[in-house]
Amino acid sequence: MSKQQCLLVTGGAGFIGSCFVLQSRQRGLRVINLDKLTYAGNLENLASLSSDPDHIFVQGDIGNAELIQWLLGHYEPDAVVNFAAESHVDRSILDPEAFVRTNVLGTSTLLRVVKNWWSCLDDAKRASFRFLHISTDEVFGALQPGDPAFCETTPYSPNSPYSASKAASDHLVRAFHETYGLPVLITNCSNNYGPRQFPEKLISLMILNALEGKPLPVYGTGSNIRDWLHVEDHCAAIALVLEQGRTGESYNIGGHSERTNLEVVQTLCAILQEEVPCERRYADQIRFVTDRPGHDFRYAIDCRKLEQELGWKPVHSFASGLKETVRWYLAHREWVEHVRSGAYRDWMVRNYADRV
């Protein structure tokens, strides 16, 4: 019988990482889950694995070299999948250094320790090992209407401290391949939505604010465009890239679902009107507020490489995925209550109080 595959997943208690951990366990992989449990990390996302002996949770930082070294030596993973990051653009505008610490320095430490361990493996293990780094379409900068979508060879041109820190980490990952031969892969994905997203991001925030009768703060005119992909489709793509992707390569992942922010918020309001009818119109809660500084106008992803080379196709349509997502938040009120701690309320004041 062949040995059970083992993954070291970082950031596996966050929105996307937890979805990937849940899917990996369904596929029978053993998962070592290293997460610092920042405000965005939540063990309730992994509640269904609480008595699963093949999900080993370790609270810790990707910048902790000794801990990473011990985990690698002890569990001998077949791959490292790096989701750990500070992920929210608005937070990066208010506190850029936290993004440099985790996204740049943390990734750099993780790479160095993994490379040192990997270089001592036997030939077969060294050849089959993978380091998969999860990145974003934001590293490519901003598009205007009519511009061709980002492809893997689009030059990097990040505009926010968040995207600049992610770009730096991508460059480090690529450099570890070129310099040391570490078998790396990078994925650059568009905006994710779905269950368990921390309610600071557009879709989860709007659902919860709408239900509570609070303002729905649309930045600027709401005409900025994002491409939306269901988190389960993103994680299925990551698994495919991990299994079949060519090392040293990057793969774009996208949903073919470009929408203006205003369209997204109006669609959410229409879904809520059906799911939770009430006398007030949810859309009347929309407020246009001060724009995000340096707000990228449009992102769009050309993911033909992933589709044609690896045969990936998303399962969720945006319409059905959004409806399911709204239903998930309605059915998980306890998760919502726990997530909205004092720290969350502080953030809402910090980010929104001065927007007129």
Kindly list the catalytic residues.
137-138, 162
- Give yes or no for residue 11 binding ligand NAD (CB under 6 A): yes
Binding residues for ligand DAU restricted to 88-127, rule: CB under 6 A: 88-89
State the Cα–Cα distance between residues 34 and 79, nearest whole angstrom. Answer: 13
Q: Of 30-38, 125-133, 200-208, 236-244, which part binds ligand DAU (CB under 6 A)?
A: 200-208
**Sheet with 225-230, side-by-side order of all strands:** 191-193, 225-230, 258-260
Residue 138 to residues 189, 223, 230, 239, 258, Cα–Cα distance (Å): 9, 17, 17, 21, 14
Among candidate residues 47, 19, 33, the one with its CA nearest the CA of residue 194: 19
Q: Partners of 292 in the beta sheet?
A: none
Span from 1-9, 98-106, 215-223, 241-249 in contact with ligand DAU (CB under 6 A): 215-223
Q: Is residue 224 within the footprint of ligand DAU (CB under 6 A)?
A: yes
* Residue 30 vs residues 16, 58, 102, 239, 309: alpha-carbon distances, Å: 18, 14, 25, 14, 27
150 binds ligand NAD (CB under 6 A): no
CB of residue 134 to ligand DAU, shortest distance in Å: 9
Question: Looking only at residues 196 through 225 of this chain, which bind ligand NAD when binding is defined by CB under 6 A?
Answer: 198
The residue ranges of DSSP E strands in the chain, in sequence order, are 6-10, 30-35, 55-59, 79-82, 130-136, 184-189, 191-193, 216-219, 225-230, 250-253, 258-260, 286-289
The answer to whether residue 217 forms part of the interface with ligand DAU (CB under 6 A) is yes
| Residue from 7, 14, 217, 236 in contact with ligand NAD (CB under 6 A) | 14
Shortest distance, position 191 Cβ to ligand DAU, whole Å = 4
Contacted entry of ligand NAD, ligand DAU, none for residue 37, CB cut-off 5 to 8 Å set by kind: ligand NAD
Shortest Cβ distance from residue 226 to ligand DAU (Å)? 5
Half-sphere exposure of 198 (CA within 13 A, CB side): 23
Stretch that binds ligand NAD, among 9-17, 151-159, 171-179, 319-327 (CB under 6 A): 9-17
User: Taking a C-beta distance cutoff of 8 angstroms, is the pair 237, 253 a contact?
Assistant: yes
**Neighbour count for residue 344 (Cβ, 10 Å):** 14
| Residue 190 near ligand DAU by CB under 6 A | yes
Number of H helices, E strands in the chain: 14, 12
Q: Which residue has the tokens 């399911």?
A: 324
Binds 261, which of ligand DAU, ligand NAD, none (CB < 5 to 8 A, cut-off by type)? ligand DAU
Q: What is the contact surface with ligand NAD in residues (CB under 6 A)? A: 10-11, 13-17, 35-38, 40-41, 61-63, 83-87, 102, 106, 134, 136, 166, 189, 191-192, 198
Which residues would be at the binding site for ligand DAU (CB under 6 A)? Answer: 87-89, 136-138, 190-191, 201-202, 205, 217-219, 224, 226, 261, 292, 299
